[in-house]
């Protein structure tokens, strides 16, 4: 071989080898980043499992078996596919195949359908038909219930899906934080400015904890209150008893005798051990809306019953001084927190609290939203409960409630003059309750 051709051959060889070298290096970097990310995730998961807040983390339902199968499938594809092809396809082909595989084999532990006709067995006798129309349109195809109450009288204006609303109840999820907040404030274990450390360098106050539904904050409140005081306040707010007065078919679940096995913090963050009905939750949020009066909910069915309606007070709660402390968090949930789907409007503010969890007694996945809106001097309380699978959640329920309010505004409901009350004397229940 001539000396003059040898450098040319070396250059050509280098050009052929370099892409392979670069490809090999890129592949090593890709796998190195993947291993580092996996290690970081494992360390993070280990740290979280060791933290005190492990019992109040959001409940996850993804099957470990499905994850392991997916990982094994990816390893098999990687072993059979050349490196260069794998690099070309990693961003779409394998991912699409894996997603399709997961969709075909998803296991659901829930028996309730997400979508159903929620009005099929309802009776509309005595209901405010404008309110009912707004609620039915807002609920749409979801399998759930909407209860709308006048918080100043306790009258149920509409009850969509009466069978569900009158049932024995479901786990209240994070809506229990309304009761936990007022109990903590009244008992002095927190105040509006109390900050609780939820991470190494992070503290959070009541407004942010309510708006973002922080579980660790409210688990701490529950631990400070203790089981007896938590259940005492649950009883004061009407849990463990019927919310309605002579409402046919209404059921309820008694209060628990002992705390849950995984701690009192689960009671005040997820509502574990409690079972709320939509009527009970409507009575609670109405009590907050009107300043502390817990009314018996009534469901008049005839024109005569409506014309002679008399509000009935179950008891007065000594919480008026603490309600202003929770309103910023309830409004913040709609403005920037978990209930943003309700759509914040400063001219017609909505105050509410979402709840998302699994009710193991049913079993079903739940989406709760307890709320009230004030426009001028008028207020309405709206509670939404959705049942089904992963598609339902507290944020989705808040969107339904927001649609109820907007439908009523569009219909001019708030501009109507309220019907005159019966001149009968207001019948009071037990004397004001205080601790």
Do 62 and 140 fall within a single domain? no
Do 233 and 282 fall within a single domain? yes
Find where tokens 């997961």 sit. Answer: 102
Do 215 and 261 fall within a single domain? yes
**What does each C-alpha distance from 172 to 12, 20, 59, 256 come to in angstroms?**
72, 60, 14, 14
Residue 354: inside a domain: yes
Q: In which domain, by residue range, is 88 found? A: 23-31+58-107
**Cβ-Cβ contacts under 8 Å for 306 (sequence gap 6 or more):** 126, 300, 419
CATH number at residue 279: 3.40.710.10
Do 195 and 297 fall within a single domain? yes
Do 295 and 343 fall within a single domain? yes
Contact 137, 403 (CB under 8 A): yes
Looking at residue 102, what is its pLDDT? Answer: 54
Q: What is the DSSP letter of 226?
A: -
Find where tokens 């426009």 sit. Answer: 375
Do 73 and 151 fall within a single domain? no
Q: H or E segment at 364?
A: strand 364-375
The total of other beta-carbon atoms located within 10 Å of residue 348's CB is: 16
72-80 contacts: CB < 8 A, separation 24 or more? 73/98, 73/101, 74/98
Residue 45: inside a domain: no
Do 85 and 226 fall within a single domain? no
What are φ and ψ of residue 316, in 5° steps?
-100, 135
User: Strand, coil or helix: what is 192?
Assistant: coil
Do 168 and 232 fall within a single domain? yes
Looking at residue 305, what is its pLDDT? Answer: 97
**What does each C-alpha distance from 353 to 112, 279, 282, 329, 401 come to in angstroms?**
23, 16, 12, 9, 11
CA quadruple 33, 35, 38, 39: dihedral positive or negative? negative
Q: Which residues of 175-208 are buried (b: 16+ CB within 10 A; e: fewer)?
A: bbbbbbbbbbbbbebbeeebebebeeeeebbbbb
Residue 6: inside a domain: no
Do 99 and 156 fall within a single domain? no
Looking at residue 289, what is its pLDDT? Answer: 98
Instruction: Please work out, in degrees rounded to the nearest 5, the angle formed at the alpha carbon of residue 372 by the alpha carbons of 428 and 421.
Output: 40
**What does each C-alpha distance from 265 to 54, 182, 203, 214, 219 come to in angstroms?**
11, 16, 18, 12, 4
**Cβ-Cβ contacts under 8 Å for 176 (sequence gap 6 or more):** 218, 267, 268, 269, 270, 271, 274, 276, 355
Do 91 and 232 fall within a single domain? no
Residue 243: inside a domain: yes
Beta strands, E only, 40-117: none
Looking at residue 268, what is its pLDDT? Answer: 98
Do 67 and 149 fall within a single domain? no
Dist CA 5 CA 26 (whole Å): 32
Residue 227: inside a domain: yes
Task: Record the tokens describing residue 196, joined without a space.
Answer: 């609780």
Residue 327: inside a domain: yes
Residue 435: inside a domain: no
Question: The whole model's pTM is what?
Answer: 0.75
Contact 243, 294 (CB under 8 A): no
Looking at residue 425, what is its pLDDT? Answer: 40
Residue 1: inside a domain: no
Find where tokens 């409960």 sit. Answer: 385
Query: How many domains does the structure of the chain reveal?
Result: 2
pLDDT tens for the chain, 435 residues long, are 444 445 444 444 444 444 444 444 444 544 444 444 444 444 444 444 334 444 444 444 433 444 444 444 444 444 444 434 433 333 333 444 445 445 554 566 778 899 999 999 999 999 999 999 999 999 999 999 999 999 999 999 999 999 999 999 999 999 999 999 999 999 999 999 999 999 999 999 999 999 999 999 999 999 999 999 999 999 999 999 999 999 999 999 999 999 999 999 999 999 999 999 999 999 999 999 999 999 999 999 999 999 999 999 999 999 999 999 999 999 999 999 999 999 999 999 999 999 999 998 989 999 999 999 989 888 999 999 999 999 999 999 999 999 999 999 999 999 887 766 655 444 444 443 434
Do 150 and 75 fall within a single domain? no
């Amino acid at each position: 071989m001539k000396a003059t051709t040898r450098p040319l051959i070396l250059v050509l060889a280098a050009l052929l080898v370099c892409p392979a070298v670069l490809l090999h290096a890129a592949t090593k970097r890709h796998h190195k980043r993947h291993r580092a990310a996996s290690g970081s995730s494992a360390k993070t998961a280990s740290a979280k499992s060791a933290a005190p807040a492990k019992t109040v983390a959001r409940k996850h339902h993804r099957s470990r078996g499905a994850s392991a199968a997916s990982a094994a499938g990816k390893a098999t594809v990687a072993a059979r596919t050349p490196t260069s092809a794998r690099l070309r396809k990693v961003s779409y082909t394998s991912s699409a195949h894996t997603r399709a595989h997961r969709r075909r084999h998803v296991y659901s532990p829930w028996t309730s359908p997400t979508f159903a006709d929620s009005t099929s067995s309802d009776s509309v006798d005595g209901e405010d038909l404008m309110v009912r129309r707004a609620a039915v349109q807002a609920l749409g195809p979801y399998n759930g219930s909407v209860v709308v109450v006048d918080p100043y009288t306790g009258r149920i204006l509409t009850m969509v899906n009466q069978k569900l609303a009158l049932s024995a109840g479901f786990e209240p999820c994070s809506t229990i934080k309304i009761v936990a907040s007022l109990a903590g404030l009244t008992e002095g274990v927190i105040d509006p400015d109390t900050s609780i450390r939820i991470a190494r360098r992070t503290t959070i106050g009541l407004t942010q904890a309510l708006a973002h539904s922080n579980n660790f904050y409210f688990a701490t409140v529950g631990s400070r209150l203790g089981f007896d005081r938590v259940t005492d306040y649950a009883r004061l707010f009407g849990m463990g008893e019927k919310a309605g007065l002579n409402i046919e078919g209404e059921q309820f679940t008694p209060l628990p005798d002992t705390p849950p096995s995984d701690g009192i913090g689960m009671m005040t963050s997820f509502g574990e051990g409690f079972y709320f009905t939509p009527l009970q939750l409507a009575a609670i949020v109405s009590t907050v809306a009107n300043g502390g009066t817990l009314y018996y909910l009534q469901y008049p069915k005839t024109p005569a019953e409506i014309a002679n309606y008399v509000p009935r007070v179950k008891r007065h709660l000594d919480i008026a001084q603490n309600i202003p402390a929770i309103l910023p968090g309830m409004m913040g949930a709609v403005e920037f927190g978990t209930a943003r789907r309700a759509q914040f409007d400063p001219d017609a503010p909505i105050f509410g609290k979402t709840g998302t969890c699994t009710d193991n007694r049913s079993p079903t996945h739940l989406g709760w939203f307890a709320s009230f809106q004030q426009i001028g001097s008028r207020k309405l309380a709206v509670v939404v409960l959705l049942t089904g699978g992963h598609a339902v959640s507290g944020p989705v329920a808040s969107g339904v409630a927001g649609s109820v309010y907007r439908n009523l505004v569009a219909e001019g409901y708030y501009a109507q003059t309220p019907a005159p009350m019966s001149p009968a004397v207001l019948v009071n229940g037990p004397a004001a309750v205080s601790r």
